[in-house]
Structure 1
Amino acid sequence: MVLGDWGGHPLYPYTTRVQTAVRDQMVRYALEHHPRFVVSLGDNFYKNGVQSSDDPRFNHTFEQVYSDPSLHIPWYVTVGNHDHHGNVTGQIDYSKKSNRWKFPDLYHKFTSQAANGRFVDVILIDTTVLCDDVYDPHVHFAAVQLAWLEDSLKQSSADYIVVGGHHPVYSVGKHGPSTCLRRKLEPLLHTYGVSVYIAGHDHNVQHIQMLGNTSSLSNRPMDYFIVGSGSKTSSKRFHFDDIPESQVNFFFAKPKDVGGFACFEVSGDTMTVKMIDGLGQLQYKYPINPRK
């Protein structure tokens, strides 16, 4: 399961109606399908992250909310801009206190083998350090991270590669496309035949498909999914004209709706991406073929 921007509220009761509705449907899905893990795409704690690994927000916004035994599976974490307003090291250190919170470093990766024998590499990056202008002192760290990412992609022989970060490369929502990520990240995604890039930041659900350029080793389209409505929703399409309408396959958000999450299911010769809303309705699904 994939969930972004689920960080609740900094004041009591620390949750939102959207967050608990999405949580309920995650439990429903987990009880039926028994997912192996959750990928968290950042903005885990609104609005200013946590202060340390002892911060009570871990209990109020995470442990008490996602408490059902079906969700006591590994949560592989990356962080967003709101998390960087606090102490990100506190979120990394929480990995030592929780059996399911998996956040060993700002960027990390793991491999999962599906029941059909297919391998999936999941690579999580910190796009705030990579591109956010607020964090100019981290320019050196951005270069190190980018080199690590390219090396990880180069080494991968997985059937599917999923790269995840908080900020989208392309979006028609409030924040729109990222010029920085288009320059730094997009060429690597195409060159190494990444299966899908997942992000949050805009509080809706989107699927955008962009063609590669002629210099790419892979000529297949690149699939970008936004899963950013784990705690709040926004139907604003400020950047709808920035991307050709034919390449926006899906957009879902309603101002008074109940958010959503994504499921990645690998079976047979296909990885199917499903978008499920906070009412439990399947809003969208899309098949992705193996890299080879």
Structure 2
Amino acid sequence: MFFKCVVFVLNCVFAVGWASDSSLRFLAVGDWGGLPSKPYTTHIETSVAHAMGKTAAKYQTKFTLALGDNFYFDGVKDVDDTRFKDTFENVYTDKALQTPWFLVAGNHDHRGNVSAQIEYSNKSKRWNFPNYYYPLHFTIPGSNATVSILMLDTIQLCGNTIHDKLGDQPQGPKDIEKANTQWQWLESSLENNNASFIIVAGHYPVISIAEHGPTSCLVETLMPMLYKYKVTSFFSGHDHNLQHLQVNQSNVSVDYFVIGSGNFVDPSTAHVSKVPSGSLKYHWANILKPGGFAYIEATPQTMTLSFIQGDGTYLYSHSMKPRK
């Protein structure tokens, strides 16, 4: 009940002051979790944070999606862990970023205490992590159009990786019952979802050309759901780059975005042959540049995602139509 109230209250708060707007605007960043020793951050993370702040101020974004690996390399120990300040509060300091952050856990977070990250929601004004998985629903200002975001714990669904290196696949869920419960929740959340745009978000990618490649567990179980319920897009991190892939099945098109360069950049394209032919639309992994993130704007007519480099350079944009 507490979780439902949290989401309900946040929706109420978000509705305030948007009457003059005509779009819903927000950011997304993955794999942003600094370092476990001083200075507890990286040049890429601080650069991306600065660029996010400028973008948030320019477009008056309302919230940020954080796609896991929030604290490298072993998560946090407890709710009083200094990493919350050293890697989050003291890094994303721009006034425009003092808006709600909605988080999911990554594989590195699951090496530590994810429940402490959830508990930290009670200590931070902007850190919103109410449960391992949860829904977010927004109305696009000045319209009846809506955006539904379903935040997943892909590690709970698929298991953790052992070595987190080239091609390393999750080893299967630690708790089958919890995984099945989350799958059932997701299908139920999609089944009667009439939102104009649906985003499903989690840490592991469904498909990726990079170091880790497609996640077999998600390809097998999640991917069919995305088409069955005409999901607009899937957001992920895990691979440390920016990717856009698009796959059409049975006259349904789903866009897959990897947004995993908030702290590191990895140029690997080791799995380019493992994704559907022609699906790759964009890939960025310039190790000479300071990472990147995504800016998303939704109107009743279209939802556009833009990749932005950590120096503020716009890299790529793609627009998606509402669900039919």
Same fold (TM over 0.5): yes
After superposition, give the CA deviation of every residue in 1:140-177 in whole Å (9 maximum; x if it has no partner): 11000000000001121110001000000000000001
Q: 2:175 aligns with which of 138, 146, 162?
A: 138
After superposition, give the CA deviation of every residue in 1:233-273 in whole Å (9 maximum; x if it has no partner): 00111101112452100000112221100011013511011
Q: 2:236 aligns with which of 174, 195, 199?
A: 199
1:284 alignment counterpart: 316
Q: Distance in 2 between the 1:238 and 1:60 partners? A: 33
Q: Distance in 1 between the 2:284 and 2:133 partners? A: 29
Q: Secondary structure at the match of 1:185?
A: helix
Tell whether 2:51 aligns with 1:14.
no
Q: Secondary structure at the match of 2:36?
A: coil
Q: Secondary structure at the match of 1:250?
A: strand
Q: What count of residue pairs does the alignment treat as equivalent?
A: 287
Superposed, which structure 2 residues align to 1:234-249 within 5 Å?
234-244=266-276, 246-249=278-281
2:190 alignment counterpart: 153
CA contact (8 A) 1:116 1:267 kept: no
User: Per-residue deviation at 1:115?
Assistant: 2.1
Q: Distance in 1 between the 2:260 and 2:223 partners? A: 20
Tell whether 2:154 aligns with 1:127.
yes
CA contact (8 A) 1:119 1:158 kept: yes
Q: Distance in 2 between the 1:162 and 1:236 partners? A: 26
Q: Distance in 2 between the 1:136 and 1:127 partners? A: 9
Q: Which stretch of the first structure deviates more once superposed, 155-164 or 133-142? A: 133-142
Q: Distance in 2 between the 1:36 and 1:194 partners? A: 22
Q: Distance in 2 between the 1:75 and 1:271 partners? A: 20
Matching residue's letter, 2:198: I
2:28 alignment counterpart: 2
1:166 alignment counterpart: 203
After superposition, give the CA deviation of every residue in 1:3-39 in whole Å (9 maximum; x if it has no partner): 0000000000001010011111101101110111000
Change (3 A) 1:135 1:51: farther
1:255 alignment counterpart: 287
Q: Secondary structure at the match of 1:50?
A: coil
2:245 alignment counterpart: 208
Matching residue's letter, 1:168: P
Q: Distance in 2 between the 1:185 and 1:244 partners? A: 16
Matching residue's letter, 1:123: L
TM-score for both structures, normalised by structure 2:
0.87
1:41 alignment counterpart: 67
Q: 1:271 aligns with which of 282, 299, 303?
A: 303
2:214 alignment counterpart: 177
Q: Distance in 1 between the 2:290 and 2:214 partners? A: 25
Matching residue's letter, 2:115: T
1:27 alignment counterpart: 53
Identity rate, percent: 41
CA contact (8 A) 1:116 1:268 kept: no
Change (3 A) 1:159 1:136: closer
TM-score for both structures, normalised by structure 1:
0.96
CA contact (8 A) 1:49 1:82 kept: yes
Q: Distance in 2 between the 1:30 and 1:106 partners? A: 26
Q: Distance in 2 between the 1:182 and 1:50 partners? A: 30
Q: 1:96 aligns with which of 113, 122, 126?
A: 122
Q: Distance in 2 between the 1:116 and 1:134 partners? A: 46
Q: Secondary structure at the match of 1:221?
A: strand
Change (3 A) 1:88 1:71: same
Q: Report the RMSD for the aligned CA atoms in angstroms.
A: 1.1
2:85 alignment counterpart: 59
Q: Distance in 2 between the 1:233 and 1:150 partners? A: 33
Change (3 A) 1:97 1:108: same
CA contact (8 A) 1:53 1:90 kept: yes
Q: 1:69 aligns with which of 70, 90, 95?
A: 95
Give 5+ residue unaligned stretches, structure 1: none
User: Per-residue deviation at 1:288?
Assistant: 0.3
Give 5+ residue unaligned stretches, structure 2: 1-26, 160-169
After superposition, give the CA deviation of every residue in 1:209-248 in whole Å (9 maximum; x if it has no partner): 1122x4xxxx221110000000010011110111245210
